[in-house]
């Protein structure tokens, strides 16, 4: 839509308020989701929505159910109660494969790359669903098989350029340092051209510089491709800087939902999550 108009603006990681983006209608809605593992309630009756084009953060202390929430959204876990409404279609349960075909991509807290494959091959797997070649064409490397390999290679190379991982294109990702692995994982998710990108602690374990780079990438992705982003992050500075709206979970329950400023001011959040306010 008119997001294109904004993509020509400078792309430095400015403060949140300085960015102008088109936030549209609701893309995904989590409706009264309850998830249990045996007797343990990981999520109870959680509801919130994610709007097109926004950066949505999910925060909360350890064990609050954040990762479970992402796992429910992309179908790895099936909730016992509640629904996921994606693009207006209510789904009793989401399956990972279906989520992928619907344009939901994600990264993982503990990095889930294909360690034996090169960076390029990892990114290419992200294009898997866009390749049509039959097994026969692949076997002979003719027709669509050959054409698609080249076409998608070009797309993947663009993403590799964008995330500045050209130098490790041919390296097996198992050999890459942690920070680069995180980037490759983001590249793989981006290769799928997702409408909704789920990031599970994209900056965990990074130093300040790496975090800044990663922030810039997330903001760029959001602005340039108008990709909706939902992310889990522990670094409050990052969350408050880059996200449009924040969901706070605690013990599997929704504690607060609003803009960073609203959430920051919410007494319940301060009490339950941030504890005593310092400084």
Partner 1 sequence: MLDAILLTPIAEIMAFPPFFFEVLIGGLLTGVMYALVALGFVLIFKASGVFNFSQGAMVLFAALTFVGLEDMGVPLILALVVTAAVMVAFAFAVERAVLRPLVGQAPITLFMATIGITFFLDGFGLTLWGSEVRRLDIGIPAEPLVIGDLFLNGFDVVAAAVCGALVLTLALFFQYTATGRALRAVADDHTAAMSVGIPLKVIWTIVWSVAGLAGLVAGIMWGAKLGVQPSLALIALKALPVLILGGFTSVPGAILGGLIIGAGEAVFEVFWVGLHGGASQDWFAYMLAMVVLLFRPQGLFGEKIIERV
Partner 2 sequence: MFYLETGQYKTSYAKDQQIFPLVQDRVGMVVILLVAFVAIPLLSSNYWLSTIMLPFLIYSLAAIGLNILTGYAGQLSLGTGGFMATGAFAAYKLTTAFPELHFVLVLILAGVITAFVGVLFGLPSLRIKGFYLAVATLAAQFFLVWLYNKNPWFTNYSASGVISAPPREVVPGVVVTGASGTPEAKYYFVLVLVVVLAWMAKNMARSKMGRAWMAIRDMDIAAEIIGIRPAATKLTAFAVSSFYIGIAGALWAFTYTGSVEALAFEINVSFDVLFMIIIGGLGTILGGFLGAAFIILFPIALNQSLLAMGLQNAIELASHLEFMIMGALIVTFLILEPHGLARLWQIFKQKLRTWPFPY
> Smallest distance, Å, CB 126 to partner 2?
6
Q: Reduce the secondary structure of the chain to three states and give it as a string.
A: CCHHHHCCCCCCCCCHHHCCCCCCCEEEEEEEEEEEECCEEEEEEEEEEEECCCEEEEECCCCCCHHHHHHHHCCCCCCCEEEEEECCEEECCCCHHHHHHCCEEECCCCCCCCCCCEHHHHHHHCCHHHCCCCHHHHHHCCHHHHHHHHHHHHHHHHHHHHCCCHHHCCCEHHHCCHHHHHHHHHHHHHHCCCCEEEEECCCCCCCHHHHHHHHHHHHHHHHHCCCEEEEECCCHHHHHHHCCEEEEEECCEEEEEECHHHHHHCHHHHHHHHCCCCC
Q: Does 121 bind partner 2 (CB under 8 A)?
A: yes
Q: Is 76 in the site for partner 1 (CB under 8 A)?
A: yes
Overall residue count recorded for the chain in this entry: 279
Write down the least CB distance from residue 261 to partner 1, Å: 33
Q: Give the total of residues touching partner 1 (CB under 8 A).
A: 7
Q: Using the rule CB under 8 A, which residue among 26, 128, 167, 265 binds partner 2?
A: 128
Pairing of strands 26-37, 89-91: unpaired
Q: Give CA 206 to chain center in angstroms.
A: 17
* Binding of partner 2 by 234 (CB under 8 A): no
Q: Does 237 bind partner 2 (CB under 8 A)?
A: no
Binding residues for partner 2, how many (CB under 8 A)?
40
Site string for partner 2, 76-95 (x = CB under 8 A): x-------------------
Rule CB under 8 A: say whether 231 interacts with partner 2.
no
User: Toward partner 2, which CB reaches closer, 178 or 261?
Assistant: 178
The interface mask with partner 1, positions 94-123, x = CB under 8 A, is --------------xxx-x-----------
Query: Measured from the CB atom, is 150 or 208 closer to partner 2?
Result: 150
- Residue 110 binds: one of partner 2, partner 1, none (C-beta under 5 to 8 A by kind): partner 1
Question: Can you give the binding site for partner 1, defined by CB under 8 A?
Answer: 67, 71, 76, 108-110, 112
Interacting residues with partner 2 (CB under 8 A):
74, 76, 96-97, 99-101, 105-106, 108, 112-117, 121, 124-126, 128-129, 131, 133, 135, 138-141, 145-146, 148-150, 153-154, 157, 188-189, 192
């Amino acid at each position: 839509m008119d997001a294109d108009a904004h993509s020509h603006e400078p792309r430095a990681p400015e403060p949140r308020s300085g960015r102008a983006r088109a936030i549209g209608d609701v893309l995904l809605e989590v409706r009264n989701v309850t998830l249990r593992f045996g007797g343990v309630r990981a999520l109870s009756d959680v509801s919130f929505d994610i709007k097109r084009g926004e950066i949505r953060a999910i925060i909360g202390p350890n064990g609050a159910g954040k990762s479970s929430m992402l796992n429910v959204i992309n179908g790895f876990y099936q909730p016992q109660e509640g629904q996921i409404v994606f693009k207006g279609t209510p789904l009793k349960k989401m399956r990972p494969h279906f989520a992928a075909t619907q344009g939901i991509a994600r990264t993982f807290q503990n990095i889930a790359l294909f360690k034996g494959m090169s960076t390029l091959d990892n990114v290419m797997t992200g294009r898997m669903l866009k390749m049509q070649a039959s097994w026969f064409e692949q076997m002979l490397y003719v027709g669509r098989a050959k054409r698609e390999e080249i076409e998608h290679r070009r797309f993947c190379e663009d993403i590799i350029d964008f995330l500045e991982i050209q130098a490790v294109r041919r390296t097996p990702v198992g050999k890459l340092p942690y920070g680069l692995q995180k980037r490759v994982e983001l590249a793989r998710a981006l290769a799928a051209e997702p409408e909704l990108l789920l990031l599970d602690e994209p900056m965990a374990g990074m130093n300040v510089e790496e975090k800044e780079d990663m922030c810039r990438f997330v903001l760029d992705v959001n602005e340039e491709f108008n990709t909706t982003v939902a992310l889990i992050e522990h670094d409050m500075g990052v969350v408050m800087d880059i996200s449009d709206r924040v969901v706070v979970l605690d013990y599997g329950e929704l504690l607060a939902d609003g803009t960073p400023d609203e959430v920051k001011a919410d007494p319940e959040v301060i009490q339950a999550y941030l504890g005593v306010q310092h400084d």
